[in-house]
Amino acid sequence: MAKIIAMMNQKGGVGKTTSSVNLAACLAVAEKKTLLIDLDPQGNGSISIGLSKEKFAGRNIYHALIGQISLRDAIYESELPCFDICPSDNNLSGAEIELVSLFARESKLKNAFKSVEKDYDYIIIDCPPSLGLLTVNALNAAHSYIVPMQTEFLAMEGLAQLLNTVKLIRNSLNPDLELDGILLTMYDSRSGLHKQVANEIKTHFGDVVFNTIIPRNVKLAECPSFGKPIILYDIESKGSEAYLALAKELILKERFKGNSKENSKETSAKNNGSSNINVEKEVLLPEEVLLDKLPALENINIDVNQI
């Protein structure tokens, strides 16, 4: 059964599409069967992997969401063997309005996945830059989410709103939704500002931030115009290295989580047999922990002498 991940941030231009396309391609190279869902009416992800708009105009995510066709019939192969895509175009902007009047409008994507989720190891959803009904559909359908974030001043702006939206969705629709991590993107190691922002975010948010940082890399900006993910465009680039490292980090995280779940099951089975200690603890949601730490970060103390 696929692990479904939403790449989300309502801020525009933070690297959601670049990260969705290239993470998906790198997972595929690691022989994980991966489906990329382009859930953004801008359709940037679809074009980035070389699909022509004419090819998918009559069969794409829009038609699957409004129930005209099965999601399976809106899936196209890419140049890479384990990498498929369900594309989108600007028709999808109409879907947000059309869905409003439909029953279970926030579960359309979740229901559409039922026909394909056993065919994949990973499904990556590239969300639009908003917290509207499309993103709500993504978060309802996903097991987890990744938040790409630029290492810029005001990086945290809007994060409280994002975390509160996720909390609402956990409480009402998808209680098992997990945070995979915050992904720092477009990092320029020569910039003092980027260094300071990245350090502050890592210090305050700790484990919640991926170890892998995506560097600013001109090859990553070029490859969409050639219709190729970075690993097919320039395997030796820093961008390729970074997204391969991210895919590896994600796969290992998953494996570690699987193992620790097994261990905690064993431990609680043992405890149940031998003691009556009440092990129930109040566990804070990651969003609550982050919201708690956010005020300290909202106005990151930039030392201008270091920039």
Ligand X SMILES: Nc1ncnc2c1ncn2[C@@H]1O[C@H](COP(=O)(O)OP(=O)(O)OP(=O)(O)O)[C@@H](O)[C@H]1O
Which residue ranges make up the site for Mg ion (CB under 5 A)? 16-17, 44
The 10 Å Cβ neighbour count of residue 80 is 18
Task: Decide whether 14 or 25 has the Cβ nearer to ligand X.
Answer: 14
Min CB(220)–ligand X separation in Å:
4
d(CA 290, CA 228): 35
Q: Is 221 in the site for ligand X (CB under 6 A)?
A: yes
d(CA 245, CA 250): 9
Min CB(118)–ligand X separation in Å:
28
Task: Decide whether 74 or 214 has the Cβ nearer to ligand X.
Answer: 214
Chain center to CA of 191: 26
Contacts of 247 (CB under 8 A, 6+ apart): 23, 26, 27, 29, 30, 32
213 — phi, psi (to 5°)? Answer: -115, 135
Min CB(300)–Mg ion separation in Å:
25
Q: Are 75 and 62 in contact (CB under 8 A)?
A: no
Binding mask 98-137 for ligand X (x = CB under 6 A): -------------------------------x--------
Q: Are 182 and 287 in contact (CB under 8 A)?
A: no
Binding mask 18-57 for ligand X (x = CB under 6 A): x---------------------x-x-x-------------
d(CA 4, CA 11): 21
The 10 Å Cβ neighbour count of residue 122 is 23
- As beta bridge partners, residue 37 has 86, 125
Task: Decide whether 116 or 166 has the Cβ nearer to ligand X.
Answer: 166
d(CA 83, CA 28): 5
Min CB(215)–ligand X separation in Å:
6
Count of residues binding ligand X (CB under 6 A)?
19
- Choose which of 2, 214, 244, 250 interacts with ligand X (CB under 6 A): 214
Min CB(116)–Mg ion separation in Å:
22
Min CB(186)–ligand X separation in Å:
4
Residues of this chain, 257-286, that bind ligand X according to CB under 6 A: none
Q: Is 216 in the site for ligand X (CB under 6 A)?
A: yes
Min CB(22)–ligand X separation in Å:
9
Which residue do the tokens 């210090």 mark?
203
Q: Is 194 in the site for ligand X (CB under 6 A)?
A: no
Helix, strand, or coil here: 91?
coil
Pull the structure tokens for residue 273: 């047999």
Q: Which entry of ligand X, Mg ion, none binds 217, CB below 5 to 8 A by partner kind? A: ligand X
Position with the least CB separation from Mg ion: 17
Helix, strand, or coil here: 229?
coil
Per CB under 6 A, which region of 13-21, 71-79, 226-234, 261-269 contacts ligand X? 13-21
Task: Decide whether 33 or 238 has the Cβ nearer to ligand X.
Answer: 238
CA distance readout (Å), 258 to 196, 231, 252: 34, 28, 10
Q: Supply the DSSP symbol for 206.
A: G
Interface ranges with ligand X (CB under 6 A): 12-18, 40, 42, 44, 129, 185-186, 214, 216-217, 220-221, 224
